[in-house]
Amino acid sequence: MRDPLLIAGYAFAGAAAAGLLGAGALRMLRRRSVAASLAVVAAVAVGAMLAGTLAVAWAMFLSSHDLTVVTTVVAMAAVVSLPTALLLARRVVLNCRELALAARDFGDGGAFRPPGRPAPAELAALSRELAAAGARLAASRERERALEDSRRELVAWISHDLRTPLAGLRAMSEALEDGVVGDPARYHRQMRTEVDRLNAMVGDLFELSRIHAGALTLSPARVSVYDLVGDALAGARPLAREHGVRLVDGRVEAVPVEVDGKEMTRVLANLLVNAIRHTPADGTVAVAAERRADTVVLSVTDGCGGIPEDDLPRVFDTGWRGTRARTPPAGAGQGLAAGAGLGLAIVRGIVEAHAGRTDVANVAGGCRFQVTLPAAR
């Protein structure tokens, strides 16, 4: 029993000495290539075997012949294991380099392309994670590009829409100042109209900035959809009469919802103004509301003739107005109605703040805008 314990002890001492030397070498090489670390690991394995064998041979006084045999076996193991470790290290290094090059292209704005060379499981998992991160980053870049395009379009149209009434106000004020106006009261009324229009556009910009900044404060209360639709229709009827458009309240169920009444009335008013603007004279704008499962769906259907399918995803984007909306008819509404494409963006922001969603689809002769809200319990 004593000899096996002594052999184990001497073998452990020799192997431990080789392991400590290998640990020191790995610490010194921790910033070098993984190939060097793998070579050290293979060398430690062979060295530990050799050191343990020599320690046992010295303690047990093996014959020179036996010691030569053992040393030869260990040397042959080293001849095989070290090149194998270096070959494995070279493959790992090549995989790491390909992965680094793919990540560099991905960081420079390109798409991440996983290396085609078979890789160890850990590197393959890292490649999959980088591919997923690349997809998310590409989507984020696309959203950022769309937001930047929307911002530029908004600035351009706001500048245009502000310049027109300001130029009119200046011309009318100069005419009044020079005393060349035959009917000053008419000019005063027109100036008041233009000021109201500018004030409405500034209010829309402020509302949109609050929505984008997450500063929109809601005061939800239990209200009936029937009352919301009735208030919105009452506010939109004067504009509808001016444009010769009929307002029709179709099937409007008295379903309760938990919403901010003021903000949701604004949503319906914006949808109605938008529908009236784009519906020709003698056309019809229909409003409906119904319960579907645990939601309430409010819809506004106009007679605009439809929106190109490619433009439908952009209808609720900030600053987007579409081809037909760029030349609104004379006297087309106030503020939002003749504004810079803020109305539907505000609609989406307010609805999403209520945990709802907005949709638009083409129907026979026009479009249907839908607002889906959670139904009150």
Query: What is the tens place of the pLDDT at every residue in 14-57?
Result: 667 777 777 777 677 666 666 677 677 777 777 776 677 667 66
Query: What is the tens place of the pLDDT at every residue in 306-339?
Result: 888 888 888 887 766 665 443 343 333 333 333 4
Most confident of 48-62, 88-102, 203-217, 299-313: 299-313
> What's the pLDDT at 328?
40
pLDDT, average across residues 143-168: 77
Q: Which residue in 113, 134, 92, 150 sits closest to 345, CA to CA?
A: 150
What percent of the chain lies above the pLDDT cut of 90?
Answer: 14
**φ, ψ (nearest 5 deg) of residue 257:** -135, 155
Query: What is the tens place of the pLDDT at every residue in 94-125?
Result: 777 777 777 776 666 666 676 766 666 777 77
Residue 141 has pLDDT above 60, yes or no: yes
More confident residue, 250 or 229: 229
More confident residue, 258 or 89: 258
- Beta carbons of 258 and 376 less than 8 angstroms apart: yes
Dist CA 360 CA 311 (whole Å): 11
Buried b / exposed e over 164-187, threshold 16 CB at 10 Å, is ebeeeeeebeeeeeeeeeeeeeeb
> What's the pLDDT at 373?
92
**φ, ψ (nearest 5 deg) of residue 56:** -65, -40
Dist CA 201 CA 157 (whole Å): 11
pLDDT class of 1 with cuts at 50, 70, 90? very low
Ranges of beta strands (E only) in 260-305 are 284-292, 295-301
Dist CA 163 CA 169 (whole Å): 10
> What's the pLDDT at 31?
66
- Beta carbons of 296 and 371 less than 8 angstroms apart: no
CATH topology of domain 144-374: Heat Shock Protein 90 (3.30.565)
pLDDT, average across residues 294-303: 91
User: Which residue ranges make up each domain of the chain?
Assistant: 2-119, 144-374
pLDDT class of 340 with cuts at 50, 70, 90? very low
> What's the pLDDT at 372?
93
Residue 231 has pLDDT above 80, yes or no: yes
